[in-house]
């Protein structure tokens, strides 16, 4: 059983690849972005608390996200299933918090898979998604730019944090969905082989 994090800038294809990965590898999907959007749609008190942050393309306050992920971790934990964290942790403080939580449950993050895409392409992809999915945070250039800036300023530090622990795997995120998926599965197979041999 392995636990992985899928990271990348907005529009990198994390959601698409996550869906394929959870099917192929029996992984439990933890996506704060999706969970938070659901709360906003249902207009729960949490949804009302976070709506403005999401709609402006800003990060939701860290305690809200880490509490939510911790609750999901305990509720969803199933024997034999690993976790796929999609778009989380996005800051080093979130990375430290989730590691503490996982350690308590005798778990760890085994790898970070980072989808790399040139910035010029991100804008086009997010705008295309805006027409299909209608996400409020995909709707204007300023919101998209804010998310890309936050990714550069905050989330790249998370990548560095895991690179120092030898857990970072960079993937070229440009190409057909299935081609990118095969790049990721090559890494998954390495990780699984390593887990079996330990
Ligand atoms: P995503 O679907 O992963 O692109 O996330 C959509 C939005 O949800 C982000 O722009 C943030 O407002 C919020 N969000 C998702 N993940 C996190 C996180 N790890 N920390 C803080 N905010 C997050």
Q: How do residues 33-68 score in pLDDT, each as one tens digit?
A: 999 999 999 999 999 999 999 999 999 999 999 999
Strand partners, 86: 6
The pLDDT value recorded for residue 89 is 98
Q: Which atom of ligand 1 is nearest to the CA of 69?
A: 19
Q: Write down the pTM of the prediction.
A: 0.96
Answer yes or no: is the C-beta of 8 below 6 A from any ligand 1 atom.
Answer: no
User: Which residues have a Cβ under 8 Å from the Cβ of 46 and sit 6 or more positions away?
Assistant: 36, 39, 64, 68
The three-point CA angle 104-106-109 to 5° equals: 100
- pLDDT of residue 198 exceeding 80, the answer is no
Ligand 1 centroid to residue 91 C-alpha, Å: 11
Residue 5, number of CB atoms within 10 A of its CB:
27
Mean pLDDT, residues 159-171: 97
Which has the closest alpha carbon to 87: 36, 121, 160? 36
Q: Is 10 in the pocket of ligand 1 (CB under 6 A)?
A: yes
Give the pLDDT band of residue 80 (cuts 50, 70, 90): confident
Assigned token pair, 80: 């034999």
Question: What's residue 1's pLDDT?
Answer: 82
């Amino acid at each position: 059983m392995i636990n992985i994090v899928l990271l990348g800038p907005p529009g990198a294809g994390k959601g698409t690849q996550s869906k394929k990965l959870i099917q192929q590898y029996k992984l439990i999907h933890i996506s704060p972005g999706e969970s938070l959007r659901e709360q906003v749609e249902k207009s729960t008190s949490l949804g009302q608390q976070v709506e403005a942050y999401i709609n402006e393309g800003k990060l939701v306050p860290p305690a809200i996200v880490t509490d939510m992920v911790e609750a999901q971790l305990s509720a969803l934990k199933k024997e034999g299933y690993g976790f796929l964290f999609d778009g989380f942790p996005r800051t080093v403080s979130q990375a430290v918090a989730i590691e503490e939580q996982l350690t308590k449950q005798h778990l760890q993050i085994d790898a970070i898979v980072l989808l790399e895409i040139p910035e010029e392409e991100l804008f086009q992809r997010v705008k295309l998604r805006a027409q299909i999915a209608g996400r409020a945070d995909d709707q204007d250039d300023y919101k998209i730019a804010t998310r890309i800036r936050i990714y550069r300023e905050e989330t790249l530090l998370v990548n560095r944090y895991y690179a120092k622990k030898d857990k970072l795997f960079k993937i070229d995120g440009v190409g057909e969905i299935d081609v990118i998926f095969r790049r990721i599965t090559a890494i998954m197979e390495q990780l699984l082989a390593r887990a079996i041999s330990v």
